Each structure stands twice: as structure tokens, then as C-alpha cells.
């Protein structure tokens, strides 16, 4: 594919301009804030680069769209043209989310909270930390990000299983099953990690039918909030199916101040920061994708429109 005219839109378009121009690409660029893009810009450009579509987005003469973020939920709301390529930023999110998940698992297995409480009470009380080798993790979503998390956790001795749409085998996983067979691997699970994207198929897919199969499990959601039925999650937290939840994403963000989740003692809330997209991360992936595209090499970050990820 030959690319010549690239439209880059963002609230940080000046920062993106500096980063992209440092690569000395022989292309024409327009760097604009999202609310200043016009119909003429879409007619001029053959490529659109941004974190989300602009409010007045139209395809014009665009043949390639690159999302500077990993998630493409906002682009999926567009009636997509079949001949337009959509790619997304990859590679940086797996390592970041792996570190996020591992930090909370280690905090739990090393009994940080328990020892902190004992210290506050001036108590010397002997408790043995749990071993990572004894932990079983089930990862919902075994794509680029979930696969990396599986690699990191399994390298530390954890037993990692996966649930995906296809159920296809993948390195670092003891076993991967399709959603309809998830119940076959949930017994004796210590942690569930969800990195599921938000699609029609995954909306509220983690609900009471899943949670009722669990017993005293830690739950981490770094995927999308819309994939979890919040009422079912709260019920599972109250009845012991889930002993603690680490939640980085929610169906409504920011999480409303009156949400019960804020006050639940077995819930940890972070404001969608498990894998923040830094400008240099997005630009690096864009530049690499452009090179791959123009050299007619195989792309690893193509979004399958029919699947939504």
C-alpha cells in the first residue's frame, strides 16, 4: 500500500508532531486537534492516525486508519468501509499489564496487607507467604496482551490457563478452551484475569454464570468494563465466590462517585492506568506499521472488523 498524506489528530497533536517528525518520514502530514478537522482534511488524507475518531469523522479518501491506542471500541461504532484497513498499537501493553497484574498477585501471595495490619497493631505473628508455583490463573482473552501476561506468569512457575473465542492452543498456557467450555478449567482457580475487548459477543460475558463456579478467587480486570456484569460481580464479592477484585476498567468511566464499588473493602480501584498509552509508544508502533505496510510484509496488528479486535 502506498501512503502519502497522513492526518494526525489528538489533543496532544503538537507532541505527536515532534515525535513523528523526528523519524524523517518522506510523507505529507497534517497535525490537528480533534475539533478542528474538516471535511477537506478527510478528502486530502489517505491515512488517519489518532486515539479515536473525531466527532465529524468520515472516510473521505482514507484507506488506512491507525489507532494509537490498543482498544478500538470507538472506531467500532463507525459503519466501517470494507476496503479501509484498521490497525492498532501493540507490543507495549502486554508488558505494562503484566507488571500491573503481577504486582497485585505478589502483594497478595506475600501477605503484604496482613503484615501491614499486624505492624499497625505492634504484633509479631508468624504467617507463611504463598508460593507462586502453587497459584493457578485463568486468563480470559489470550491474544497479544493476554498471551504476554501468560508468558510472564508462567515463567514464574504459575499454572496458566486461558479462555478465548477460538480455544486454540498457545505457548505458555497449560490449556486454552472456548467460552462455552470455561467451566471445565475453573476449579481450584486462584486468580482470574480478564483482558477481554468490548464487543457484542463479550458484553456482560463475565456474569453470575461464571462467578458461581468460583470459590475464594482473586479477580483482575484490565480489559474492558463492559465485559463484566457489575451486579453479578458485587454479589460474588459479597458471597465469597470472589475474595477480592482489582478493577482498572469500568462500564462507565470515570466510575461514578456513588458506585458501591468505592466502599467495598475487598475491592481495589485504579483509574484505567494499567497500560497508559504514552505518545512515544503509539508513534513507534505507527512508524513500524507504516514501514511494514509499504514493504508489503505481514502485519501483526490488523483489527478484524467482524470481531471488533
Whole-number pLDDT of residue 70: 87
150 and 139 Cβ atoms separated by less than 8 Å: yes
CA-to-CA dists, residue 70 to 15, 250, 264, 272, 278, angstroms: 19, 16, 30, 13, 11
Instruction: Determine the Cα angle at 206 with ends 304 and 225, to 5°.
Output: 70
The DSSP string of 126-193 is --PPPPGGG-EEEEE--SHHHHHHHHHHHHTT-EEEEEESS----TT-SEEEEGGGGGGT-TT-SEEE
Q: How many helices (H) and strands (E) does the chain have?
A: 9, 12
Neighbours of 184 (CB within 10 A): 11
- pLDDT band at residue 61 using 50, 70 and 90 as cut-offs: very high
In this predicted model, what pLDDT tens digit does every residue of 115-167 receive, in sequence order? Answer: 999 999 999 999 999 999 999 999 999 999 999 999 999 999 999 999 999 99
* pLDDT score at 272: 97
The answer to whether the beta carbons of residues 6 and 29 sit under 8 Å apart is: yes
Strand-pairing partners, residue 161, are: 138, 175
* pTM check: above 0.85: yes
Considering only CA atoms, which of 243, 228, 232 is closest in space to residue 191? 243
Report the pLDDT averaged over residues 159-179.
Answer: 97
Residue 205 host element (H or E): none
Query: For residue 243, how far is the Cα from the chain centroid?
Result: 23
Q: Which domains are seen in the chain, by residue range?
A: 5-91+277-294 (3.40.50.720), 93-269 (3.40.50.720)
Mark 79-106 as b/e (b = at least 16 C-beta within 10 Å): eeeeeebbbbbbbbbbebbbebbbebbe
Question: Which pLDDT tens digit goes with each residue over 250-294?
Answer: 999 999 999 999 999 999 999 999 999 889 999 999 999 999 999
Query: pLDDT-based confidence at 307, cuts 50/70/90?
Result: confident
Angstrom distance (rounded) from CA 1 to CA 290? 9
pLDDT range class, residue 308, cuts 50, 70, 90: confident
User: Residue 309: what pLDDT?
Assistant: 85
In whole angstroms, what is the distance from residue 45 CA to residue 309 CA? Answer: 24
pLDDT in tens, 191-220: 999 999 999 999 999 999 999 999 999 999
Contact by Cβ (8 Å): 34, 11: yes
Alpha carbon distance 53, 47 (integer Å)? 12
Amino acid 223: pLDDT: 97
Amino acid at each position: 500500500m502506498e501512503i502519502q498524506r497522513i492526518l494526525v489528530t489528538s489533543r496532544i497533536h503538537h507532541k505527536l508532531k515532534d515525535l513523528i517528525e523526528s523519524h524523517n518520514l518522506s510523507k505529507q502530514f497534517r497535525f490537528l486537534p480533534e475539533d478542528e478537522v474538516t471535511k477537506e482534511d478527510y478528502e486530502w488524507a489517505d491515512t488517519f492516525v489518532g486515539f479515536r475518531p473525531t466527532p465529524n469523522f468520515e472516510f473521505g479518501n482514507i484507506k488506512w486508519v491507525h489507532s494509537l491506542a490498543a482498544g478500538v471500541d470507538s472506531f467500532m461504532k463507525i459503519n466501517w468501509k470494507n476496503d479501509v484497513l484498521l490497525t492498532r498499537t501493540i507490543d507495549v501493553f502486554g508488558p505494562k499489564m503484566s507488571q500491573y497484574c503481577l504486582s497485585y498477585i505478589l502483594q497478595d501471595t506475600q501477605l503484604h496487607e496482613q503484615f501491614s495490619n499486624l505492624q499497625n497493631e505492634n504484633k509479631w505473628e508468624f504467617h507463611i507467604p504463598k508460593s507462586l508455583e502453587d497459584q493457578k490463573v485463568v486468563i480470559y482473552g489470550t491474544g497479544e496482551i493476554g498471551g504476554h501476561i501468560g508468558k510472564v506468569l508462567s515463567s514464574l512457575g504459575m499454572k496458566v490457563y486461558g479462555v478465548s473465542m477460538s480455544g486454540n492452543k498457545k505457548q505458555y498456557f497449560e490449556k486454552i478452551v472456548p467460552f462455552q467450555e470455561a467451566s471445565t478449567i475453573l476449579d481450584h482457580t486462584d486468580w482470574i484475569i480478564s483482558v477481554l475487548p468490548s464487543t457484542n459477543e463479550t458484553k456482560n460475558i463475565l456474569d453470575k454464570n461464571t462467578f458461581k463456579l468460583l470459590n475464594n478467587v482473586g479477580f483482575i480486570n484490565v480489559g474492558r468494563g463492559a465485559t463484566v456484569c457489575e451486579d453479578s460481580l458485587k454479589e460474588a464479592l459479597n458471597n465469597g465466590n470472589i475474595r477480592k477484585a482489582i478493577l482498572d476498567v469500568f462500564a462507565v468511566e470515570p466510575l461514578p462517585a456513588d458506585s458501591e464499588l468505592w466502599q467495598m473493602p475487598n475491592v481495589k480501584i485504579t483509574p484505567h492506568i494499567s497500560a497508559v498509552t504514552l505518545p512515544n509508544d503509539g508513534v513507534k508502533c505507527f512508524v513500524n506499521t507504516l514501514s511494514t505496510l509499504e514493504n508489503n510484509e505481514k502485519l501483526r496488528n490488523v483489527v478484524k472488523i467482524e470481531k471488533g479486535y
